[in-house]
């Protein structure tokens, strides 16, 4: 049986659907009482996982403090570390005691860094270079898990995805969809960047393989869709997926947009919109025989289809 944490979240709910469709037995946990979920309370370094781990062979750990655009914590690193590292290690240590065979950890491409130069996509063998507290604590959790695995014999598998999109997505991708579907002219005519992303159904397919295939043990895998579109190409394809005319892309110079964004304190957003971040998922394809079951256009179609009915 598979234990899934973070099961009420965007990726978690999609994963539960995927596991059910495959006929794989699972137990989903939550922080509060919900029908169909085991309530374990808040995820902390002191959470008691004994009941949740009874009879469990594999853990897929999705629960995390994710990247926050507008931070309000006085000590963000401590807040990230409490859940992403300390609570994760607590769960993993109890998993060892419960006889769990494999621990699958959903990490982030932010462990590798924030930007890739032309022709040099991120790969698993590159030195980690996180630039924020989220990426740093994901890296710390990876290191702690692999160390625990070496001491205990529990198998560790790490998946690092880029931005995940799909039905019900929020945050930056949802805002970009709103822009693409309004039909307003957008200043992306000169963008020549490339941004990897991954449809949630492609990610859950890989997570299922990571949980069940023997050769996934004790390894890190990067994950991404097969295409890495520019920001301009992405908004065009979002509009077309919704059956709407593509927005006009204005040829605004990139330096002007980066400068303007910096002046209003949105430099990090400009970096994501105009910089490149390309992920090489070749290792997962070679080792696990993985191929993203959904194309970019199919993933976008499913995403905007659900949004239009909300």
Give the integer Cα–Cα distance in Å for 2 and 103.
10
- For 5, 146, 204, 298, the CA distances from 200, given in Å and listed in that order, are 16, 26, 6, 12
Give the integer Cα–Cα distance in Å for 40 and 47.
7
Exposure letters 59-76 (e unless 16+ CB within 10 A, then b): bbbbbbbebeeeeeeeeb
Query: Is 80 one of the catalytic residues?
Result: no
Give the integer Cα–Cα distance in Å for 245 and 265.
32
Q: What's the token pair of residue 131?
A: 């630039």
In which order are the strands placed within the sheet that holds 219-222? 38-39, 26-30, 2-5, 58-61, 102-106, 155-160, 219-222
What are the phi and psi torsion angles at 124 (to 5°)? -65, -25
The single residue of 80, 134, 165, 199 carrying the catalytic annotation is 134
Give the integer Cα–Cα distance in Å for 164 and 66.
12
Please list the active-site residues. 134
């Amino acid at each position: 049986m598979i234990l899934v944490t973070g099961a009420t979240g965007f990726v978690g709910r999609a994963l539960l659907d995927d596991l059910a469709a495959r006929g794989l037995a699972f137990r989903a946990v939550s922080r509060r009482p919900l029908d169909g979920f085991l309530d374990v309370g808040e995820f902390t370094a002191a959470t008691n996982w004994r009941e949740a781990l009874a009879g469990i062979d594999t853990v897929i750990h999705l629960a995390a403090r994710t990247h926050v655009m507008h931070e309000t914590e006085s000590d963000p690193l401590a807040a990230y570390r409490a859940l992403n590292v300390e609570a994760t290690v607590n769960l993993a240590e109890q998993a060892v005691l419960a006889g769990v065979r494999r621990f699958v950890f959903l990490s982030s491409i932010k462990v590798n860094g924030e930007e890739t130069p032309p022709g040099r996509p991120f790969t698993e063998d590159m030195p980690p270079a996180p630039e924020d507290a989220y990426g740093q604590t994901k890296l710390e959790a990876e290191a702690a898990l692999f160390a625990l695995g070496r001491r205990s014999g529990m198998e560790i598998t790490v998946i690092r995805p880029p931005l995940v999109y799909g039905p019900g997505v929020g945050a930056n991708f949802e805002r970009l969809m709103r822009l693409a579907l309004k039909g307003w002219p957008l200043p992306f005519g000169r963008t020549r960047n490339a941004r990897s992303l991954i449809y949630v159904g492609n990610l859950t397919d890989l997570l299922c393989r990571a949980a069940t295939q023997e050769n996934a043990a004790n390894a890190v895998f990067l994950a991404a869709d097969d295409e890495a579109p520019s920001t301009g190409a992405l908004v065009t394809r979002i509009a077309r997926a919704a059956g709407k005319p593509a927005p006009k892309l204005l040829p605004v110079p990139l330096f002007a947009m980066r400068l303007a964004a910096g002046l209003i304190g949105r430099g990090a957003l400009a970096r994501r919109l105009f910089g490149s971040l390309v992920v090489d998922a070749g290792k997962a394809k070679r080792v696990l025989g993985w191929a993203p079951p959904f194309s970019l256009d199919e993933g976008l179609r499913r995403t905007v289809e659900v949004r239009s009915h909300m």
